[in-house]
Amino acid sequence: MIDAPDEHIRPRRLEDFIGQEELRANLRVYVTAARERGQAMDHVLFYGNPGLGKTTLACILASELGVNIVSTSGPVLERSGDLAAILSNLGRHDILFVDEIHRMPVAVEEVLYPALEDFAVDVMVGQGQGPGGVRTVKIGLKPFTLVGATTRIGLLSAPLRDRFGIICRLETYTPRELAQVALRAARILRVELAEEAALEIGRRSRGTPRIANRLLRRVHDFATVRGAQTITRTETDEALSRMDIDPLGLDQMDRKLLDVLINQFDGGPVGLKTLAVACSEEERTLEEIYEPFLIQCGFLKRTPSGRVATPRAYEHLQKSSVPERS
């Protein structure tokens, strides 16, 4: 997912990418090896929650390798011909970045297999039946690197997953790393951000750089309107509480989800579909954006019979009674 307002603060080189030390060191090795051998880098799969830097890393790989990057996404590739056209236009060693690769239709995925293994695609040409009718023609491709990104590696088919030579998981970031993300973005935006303010942003960014950048922009808005030169800790606290972001980084929707679970469904278990209707939110948004963080905080559990609020959730929402469970 490309976050347009963040485009100019997106790190361009591996050394500007904060955190994920081991992953970064490994990518440095793979990039150097591919360059030294004059080959396309092996296909790479990045997986992890939204906003952790998958798209950023794909762009960084392109600039470190000195190649072009063509970006698309799984749901956009509706027909196999769309993918074949993109593949045949790629230059030597270019990167094809496919975001949300788990949402690529099966027919399109099948075009990808020979492309990944033999740098070739089978294209249907002609019309009608008989000898001059529809037939398959193999078209050779220039060697390229597929970089796939997914929030749901479990939904990737095994044959597709197995065709990636490099599979990397992105972890959530520590508050300190997120403070560095905010300080780096502040420097680029020419905003003075106090160290303590950056740490507070880091603590409330739910482990995610995209959120740290978003909070920084909003806190900056509040500071600008007040005419403040430097964003201090006090200003940050005030702005974040006006945005309804609590000390753990939970926002209105997180609290609504817990509140609905506790008050409408006695703490669960309740199915995702029902919960989504009750929260007026899409199932996929709940599952991919809100739940991972609530689970990580220990507020929510996914059980075979549905979602359940934990005693910590009751505590956090300042509910006094936890119902007896059988």
Instruction: Give me the residues that bind ligand ADP (CB under 6 A), please.
Output: 1, 3, 6, 9-11, 17-19, 50-56, 149, 181, 209-210, 213
* Of the candidates 153, 121, 155, 124, the residue with the CA atom closest to the CA atom of residue 138: 121
- Indicate which residue of 55, 56, 145, 150 is catalytic: 55
- Indicate which residue of 54, 184, 204, 214 is catalytic: 54
- Residue 101 or 275 with smaller CB distance to ligand ADP: 101
Catalytic residue check, 204: no
Q: How far apart are CA 158 and CA 155, in angstroms?
A: 9
Shortest Å, Cβ 194 to ligand ADP: 19
3-state secondary structure of 163: coil
Hey, what are 182's tokens? 């905010």
Catalytic residue check, 151: yes
Residues 6+ apart with CB under 8 A from 293: 206, 207, 249, 250, 254
Shortest Å, Cβ 34 to ligand ADP: 21
Of all residues in the shown chain, the one whose CB is closest to ligand ADP is: 53
Q: How far apart are CA 185 and CA 287, in angstroms?
A: 29
- Residue 12 or 135 with smaller CB distance to ligand ADP: 12
Shortest Å, Cβ 293 to ligand ADP: 14
Shortest Å, Cβ 70 to ligand ADP: 16
What count of residues does the chain have? 326
Q: How far apart are CA 226 and CA 222, in angstroms?
A: 6
Q: How far apart are CA 276 and CA 260, in angstroms?
A: 10
Shortest Å, Cβ 172 to ligand ADP: 11
Hey, what are 284's tokens? 């996929």
Catalytic residue check, 161: no
The CA dihedral of 65, 31, 22, 51, to the nearest 10 degrees, is 30
- Indicate which residue of 10, 56, 99, 307 is catalytic: 99
- Indicate which residue of 210, 214, 254, 307 is catalytic: 210
What does DSSP say about strands 135-140 and 120-125: parallel, antiparallel, or unpaired?
antiparallel
What does DSSP say about strands 44-47 and 69-73: parallel, antiparallel, or unpaired?
unpaired
- Residue 80 or 180 with smaller CB distance to ligand ADP: 180
- Residue 128 or 154 with smaller CB distance to ligand ADP: 154
- Indicate which residue of 56, 145, 151, 172 is catalytic: 151
Catalytic residue check, 246: no
Shortest Å, Cβ 208 to ligand ADP: 8
Name the strand (E) or helix (H) holding 146. Answer: strand 145-150
- Residue 10 or 220 with smaller CB distance to ligand ADP: 10
Catalytic residue check, 174: no
Amino acid at the residue 46 = F
DSSP state of 255: H
Positive or negative CA dihedral for 282, 285, 290, 293? positive
- Residue 178 or 231 with smaller CB distance to ligand ADP: 178
Name the residues annotated as catalytic. Answer: 54-55, 99, 151, 210
